[in-house]
Structures are given as structure tokens and as C-alpha cells.
Amino acid sequence: MAKSKQELVVKDNKLIEASYRLDLVEQRIILFGITEARKTQKGLSADTFAIIRAKDYAEVYGVAPNKAYEHIKEAARTLFLREFTLYGVWSETGDKDVITSRWLSATSHVDGAGVVRLAFSPIVVLYIIRLEAAFTRYKLEQIAGMTSVYAIRLYELLIQWGSVGERDIDVEWLRRALMLDGQYKDIKNFKVRVIDVAVAQINLHSDLIVSYTQKKTGRTVSSLIFKFDQKPDVKVAQEAHKEEAKAAKAREKRDKEEIARVKARDDEEAERLRRRDDGDTLFASYLKLPESDRQEILATVLANVPGLRAIYERRGLDHSAVKAAICIEMRR
């Protein structure tokens, strides 16, 4: 099944905020695997594989087809060794709970088909399919053009707060989430090498426009305040899409109402024809009765249906009202 940039990536927010460090291709194949798991709806579990095809990877990320397979094959091998850390609270005591897990429990590759398969670890499966809690979703195309691993991570961290348009992120927490403990200790270096590059790529490749300022505690920069909004052309497109969806819904409603009216009319006509055919059959049966029986039925009908005698005298047995009255009488 061909992969599209329109595929939705769906991640539990705890997984987005986990501490991990992956290279660019490793991040990309993780996201491919997640979209595959969401799209196929095959009941993803720790013993099933998500399939990544080199030709799909090449198409989405603009990689030369002859290089794509080697990229994803090598990335799957190194990803198998990677770990990530989740932070939570242990319900029994309320103490901080630190969970370390691998991303994958198994990988496979099929050289002849240009296919790599990923089996996610049980805890990753849990966070991919457990979507009834807080989760974040976005289209794969939003990160397809990014070449900075930090840009992808920052984009995900920001769209978690998409309805707010602003997020205050503690610098030390961000370092930990990006697995940069001990690196870029100087805040200026951290901003230039990590944050500025990420913001530039988000602004260039995604549907967001991002800026940031810093907040100090004393003389130390303690947090970065990111402000972001959807690009104007994206907003216009979304509004147009909403209007089109609204119009389509109205058209669908009108079409359903018209179909219902036509069906009701057709059903009514079918019932009328059925009754007419039934009446014709009954009247034919009436004509086959012995003369004495016919006279008895006819006398009963003419005596009990006001005004029918005059119709009978003028038009005879072939008049529809007379036929109908006879058929009704025969049904008793």
C-alpha cells in the first residue's frame, strides 16, 4: 500500500515528551511505522510488523530510490539498539516513575522487495494505539522536508499546544527531552546550533510560523517561550476546506432528502400498483364465480356502499369504484 505525505502521524503525548535521541532516518522510519500502524488498523501488537517500503520512503522524503533501501535498512538496524525514557508517576506511592524502553523488539529486511519491517516494543505499541487519552496528530508532509532531528521534535512539542499558540518550555527539560545533557551548555550555542536551526526548518517546511523569546531567572535563561500560529495560506486553505465541507454536508443532506422523497414516491406507486394488481386478480376471481354467488356479492356491495348503485347503473361492473367495492367485499 503506497504511503502518502497526507498520512496522519498519531502519537501519545507522553511518547512525544519522552527523552530520546534518534538520527534523521531513524525518526523518519519511526513515523512511517506509526502511520502504517494507524492506517492498516490490523490490531497492532508487539508481535506484528509495520511495513516500510523503500519506494514509499523515497517518494515522501525526496531520496534517490537507489539509496532509500540502504538508508532504511541501516536505520532499522541501529534503531533496534536505541532506547528512550518516559517520565511518569507511580500510582501506588506518587513517586516519580522513570521507564526505559527500546523502540523495537525485532526488525526484518527483504532485499529483493526493498522492504524493511519493524516490530515495535510492547510499551511503544501501548502508546501508539492508546488514543483515548491525550494525543497529537499531524500529517507526515509537515515534517517531510525537515533535515534536523531537533526540528521534528520541536514541531511535535509545539503542535501539542496547537489550540493555545504558545508554549513555555523549560531549557533543562528541553535538553533532557532531546538527550542533550552535557552538550551545548552555553545557552547561546544551544540556541544557534539547536533551536534556531529547528525554528528555521519549521518555518520553511511545515504549516506553522514560529518565533521565540527567552525568560531569565536571575541571570540564567531558564525557559524559552515559543509563539506559533498556522501560516496565513494554511488558514485560508483550512477555512476554504471548512466551507467546502459544510457545503458538501448540505448537499449530502439535500441528496438524502431527495432520495428519501423519490423512494417514498416510488414505494407509494409500487403499493398502488400492487393493490391494483391484487384488485384485478380478485375481480377476475369474482367473475369466475357461479352466477348466484356473483349476484349475492354484488347485491351486498350495492346495499352497503352509498352512491355505488348509481355508478353501477351508469358504468357497470368495469367501473373502478364498483370493482374496488367488490374486491373489498370478497376479502371479508
What's the pLDDT tens digit per position in 120-178?
A: 888 888 777 654 444 566 777 888 889 888 998 899 889 888 778 899 999 998 998 88
Q: What is the pTM of this model?
A: 0.56
Asked if the model's pLDDT at residue 92 lies above 90, the reply is: no
Asked if the model's pLDDT at residue 238 lies above 60, the reply is: no
Q: Are strands 220-230 and 166-170 parallel, antiparallel or unpaired?
A: antiparallel
Q: Grid coordinates representing 331?
A: 376479502
Asked if the model's pLDDT at residue 251 lies above 50, the reply is: yes
Same topology for domains 1-140 and 145-230, yes or no? Answer: yes
Write out 182-232 in H/E/C secondary structure: CCCCCHHHHHHHHHHHHHHHHHHHCCEEEEEEEEEECCEEEEEEEEEEECH
Distances (CA, A) of 163 to 103, 210, 264, 326: 29, 14, 46, 73
Domain ranges of the chain: 1-140, 145-230, 238-331
CA dihedral 267→272→274→275, nearest 10 degrees, is 140
Predicted local confidence at residue 256, as pLDDT:
81
Q: What is the CATH code for 1-140?
A: 1.10.10.10
What's the pLDDT tens digit per position in 198-231?
A: 999 999 988 889 999 999 988 899 999 999 988 8
Alpha-helix runs per DSSP H in the chain: 13-16, 24-40, 54-61, 65-79, 122-129, 141-144, 149-159, 171-177, 187-190, 196-205, 232-287, 291-304, 308-315, 320-331
Grid look-up 519549521 returns: 202
Asked if the model's pLDDT at residue 41 lies above 70, the reply is: no
Predicted local confidence at residue 132, as pLDDT:
44
Fold adopted by 145-230: Arc Repressor Mutant, subunit A (1.10.10)
- What is the percent of the chain with per-residue pLDDT over 70, rounded to a whole number? 87
| Chain CA centroid to CA 119, Å | 23
